[in-house]
Structure 1
Amino acid sequence: MSTPPKVADAADAATAAEDAVRRLTELGTTLAVAESLTGGLVAAAVTGVPGASRVFRGSVTAYATELKRDVLGVDGGLLAARGAVDPDVARSMAAGVRRALGAAWGVSTTGVAGPEPQDGQPVGTVYVAVSGPAGQDKVAALRLNGGRADIRRESVRSVLALLLGELPGNGRTQDTEQNGGT
């Protein structure tokens, strides 16, 4: 798992949200958010950006495990076997919110903000994921330090950074012109 060099502050998350809304607007595409440990903070960061209504479809805060299964379509067997704090659960949540809310892009957060471990995972274990229209499917595993608020804030920044890295034209995704495509 990776450890970020510093814990994000509110300005970092706000900047990531602004960058994501700007890029999604430029691309003329849409976003849906599935959240667990962040409890709506990703959606709040995105909707705090003027013009977000052009790209933001909505969000599902699936704090309870059964909501991950029943609303987002996460496999019940996966949840029973591994618990909610798992990279495949994060991946499934991102894909599920895309489908449920009719968005081109979906992102998700799941993890342990504390104060106690959960599903056998220590505090600070977080998975963020992105699911996109051309089969983009990426999960980042984070090991975060700090208090509950710090972990949640850095999770918001991290999931938006992951999204930005996967959006076309941001250098980390494949550019068809560079790869000989049209």
Structure 2
Amino acid sequence: MTTLSSPTNFHQLTPSTGLPPSWEVRLSRSHNIPYYFNISTHESTWEPPLGTDADQLKFYMAANHSYILPSGAASGPNQQSKIRCSHLLIKHSGSRRPSSWKEKNITRSEDDARVILSALESRIRNGEAILAELALTESDCSSARKGGDLGFFGKGEMQKEFEDAAFALDIGEMSGIIKTGSGLHLIVRTA
């Protein structure tokens, strides 16, 4: 995994989180997921700030912000209240917001988006690539920077079509192409 910080800035990172000075991890009350907050500037972001040690943050988040089933609870795709997924999104002109970090104005048709995503799906299923790698460069979602990782979410937090597909997956399983108002998705359940 690549580290976002340069070696010269490493010693300045907050030891437990890997975040740059003045940054801390907070929990969103409305979404019940972690976000990043700068106590000096009052800036907040869902994405790790520039200069973060990604490996150190990963260990911190796993230890402090992972969802664990209560003991004795049943496990299975529909038994957890929160799951974790990564996805790859291809938008089209009919998407709810036809723009992305890659393209200011997306003009491709839904059919063209489906062709693009089908080719990417084939590469993943053939073992030529993994979704997280392709998401970094191909996904129209801002989660691309995190390999498509959406973090933990529960029912009612995602668009219905996305949620239905995600909760039906077993851990490690990838969906087929899923259509939502945002565009076309491939989803992998990671936890």
Give the TM-score of the pair, scaled to structure 2.
Answer: 0.25
Give the TM-score of the pair, scaled to structure 1.
Answer: 0.25
Choose 1 or 2 for highest CA Rg.
Answer: 2
